[in-house]
Chains A and B, each alone.
Chain A
Amino acid sequence: MILDILLTRYNYVVVALLLPVGAYMMIENRNLVKKVIGMNVFQTGIFLFFITAAYREGASPPLVGDGGAGVTYVSPLPHVLILTAIVVGVSLTAVALALIVRIYAQYGTLDERRLREAYADE
């Protein structure tokens, strides 16, 4: 039963792994850059969920030729949505990295604990 799920639904298993791994990285890592990487992993999990949900066995791309009767097409909508979400994710990463550059210039560290010490000194 479990083996069956692992063999046929392995994409969802990966989704279920990526989300907690990303969340754990964001919480547990002391390095700010690694937190941002964790955020990216978390988002990727959700992207994969959308893409997997759109998969249809034996379906063709939604390019309708002549009539197109009797053929199963893949819905292009989830792919388009995720394309948008990826763009949003890239912008977020860019802003996050810009903030990290500023933090490093100010405090000379990217370590969360040392940052807190620098706070206490101010």
Chain B
Amino acid sequence: MSSLLPLLVAVPIAGALLTLVVGYAADRLGWPLAFASSLLHVALTGYLVVRAYATPDPLRYTVGGFRPPFGIELVVDGFNAAVVGLVAVVAVGVLVYARRAGPHSVAFYTGYLLLVAGLSGMSITGDMFNLYVFLEITGLAAYALVATGDDGRSAVGALKYLLVGTVGASLFLAGIGYAFVATGTLNMADLATKLGEVGYGSTLVRTSFALVVVGLGVKTALYPLHTWQPDAYASAPDSVSGLISALVSTVSAYALARVIYSVYTVEFLSSVAYAREFVLVLAGVSIVAGSLLAVMQTDIKRMLAYSSVSQFGLVVAAFAIANEAAVTGGVVHLVGHAVMKGGLFLAAGAIAMRTGARTVGEFDGLGSRTPLLGAAFAVLSLSMVGVPPAVGFVGKWYIALGAIQSQLWPIAAVILLSTLLTLAYFLRLVERMYFRSGTGAAAGADSPTGTGTATVADGGDDEDPTLGRDDTPTLGRDDDDAFAADDERFGRPSVGMVAVVVVAALLAVVLGPLVSAFEPLLEPTLETLL
């Protein structure tokens, strides 16, 4: 069954080619073909993930019959199985959303499938140079996807992303070069033993570590290296922002963790002076600076983008702490953040489509104008802040626990501080949505505390009763007027778009309690990694 591993990459690539060729002949077939490829990819991934957690040994596949360490091998263990599954599920969700929200071009569907192929490849490869190639495939697809927006801004954002991203990937390649010069091998498992033989004190080995961390730090968008990220996320179409915010940085952060654990090993981290401190300081600065920048934003998508800088600081800090609790927290937060941030971007897109609200100020009274989407946005926000039992809380809890176990008090303090700052920038939105009257015609004459607000004011518990109401508003006369006003001025998100956002909100809540079931699955892998 491990012979199915290369199909994780091959299926989306074949789908991309098919979509490109058929899509140009018959425009209407673009989406169905992309969707079919994605469904096949999910089925395949689901099967392999179940297999990976059922067997104690990792699934391995030798590409082209060239045995490692000379050839390339693909590996799925308990660590990356979670990432592979995440990529497949989020990708399908975004495609469902993009059915109505667009972009509707064949270029988008092709780029989307190539991105999925690149991300899957990055997740499963066991070879350093292969990781670089998939990193660049992912990058190229992401640059092209950002540029699918209609206005010139998206092209400028994409070019900036391309220039900075290429420097990052090139530094990563230089790091691989240093490691290759030191050891003469590119296979991750082989590198781990040979780097130890060369000695962790070697300048070549240390330099390669620094270059690789900085290179992947650019792709993950850690603080001083994040400059491409807000422009790219803010200028991309909503579906694309959701997709790349949920997956591209996530898989890069996974790659960073994989390289730290499987190539340089935890022993390197603890034996080389300042190696762990270097990563921890990078992550800690990222947590604080990202949050502060997010508080200062007025544009919703830019705020969410800076929030990602902060959250990835948290994830990378967890991987640098490198004890069992912290790494569990890192994996949980990696997956949880992808679901929450992807959901938030998609919710923001759907809200903008419904009401035209794209800045913090325009969120006033939104809870009554679009109850269901507003509630989903609020639930996702609160989960991101870390309100139990949501997944955002569980991830942060484990990371803080790990920091305290390793007696890294500054990092523990930074994590708590970051929660306060996250509260600052998300709570002001929730407060505006539910406790302030809306502006303009859409809010109605005197209905700020009408029945619509009361129904949804208590967050996510009321989601199901209001499920149908977004389409057939029956919340009260004033709100009917509001809906009518919105209908005149703006479009309506499709049922699929709303459903994807609601599912993301539900997942953010449900995944939290499920972590205790996931922990024993992860444990055997962690034992071999740490």
Contacts and interface: CB of A to CB of B under 8 A. Distances in A.
Interface of A: 23, 26, 32, 35-36, 39, 42-43, 46, 49-50, 53, 75, 77-78, 81, 84-85, 88, 91-92, 95-96, 99-100, 102-103, 106-107, 115, 119
A90 B176 CA distance: 20
A39 B167 CA distance: 7
Contact of A46 (B144, B177, B184): B177
Given A78-B180, A100-B159, A103-B156, 13 more contacts: A35-B163, A43-B166, A43-B170, A46-B173, A49-B174, A49-B177, A84-B133, A88-B133, A92-B162, A96-B163, A99-B155, A99-B162, A106-B152
Contacts of A43: 166, 170
Contacts of A99: 143, 147, 155, 158-159, 162
Given A32-B159, A36-B163, A39-B163, A107 B152 contact: yes
B155 A106 contact: yes
Interface in B107-142: 129, 132-133, 136, 139-140
Interface string B377-410: 0000000000000000000000000000000000
Q: Give the secondary structure class of A's interface.
A: helix
A103 B151 CA distance: 9
Contacts of A75: 184
Q: Give the secondary structure class of B's interface.
A: helix
Contacts of B162: 92, 95-96, 99
Contacts of A42: 166-167, 170
Nearest to B173: A46
Interface residues on B, range: 20 to 34
B155 A103 contact: yes
B181 interface: yes
Given A88-B133, A88-B136, A106-B152, A26 B167 contact: yes
A53 B132 CA distance: 19
A104 B96 CA distance: 33
Nearest to A107: B152
Contacts of A91: 136, 140
Contacts, number: 69
A59 to B, nearest CB: 15
A95 B174 contact: no
B182 to A, nearest CB: 10
Please give me the 4 A-B residue pairs with the lowest Cβ-Cβ distance, nearest first: A106-B152, A102-B155, A99-B159, A88-B136
A18 to B, nearest CB: 11
B207 to A, nearest CB: 12
A78 B158 CA distance: 31
Contacts of A78: 180
Nearest to B184: A75
Contacts of A84: 129, 133
A79 to B, nearest CB: 12
B465 to A, nearest CB: 43
Nearest to A80: B129
Nearest to A115: B156
A95 B114 CA distance: 15
A106 B163 contact: no
A88 B162 CA distance: 12
6 contacts: A35-B163, A84-B133, A92-B139, A95-B144, A102-B155, A103-B156
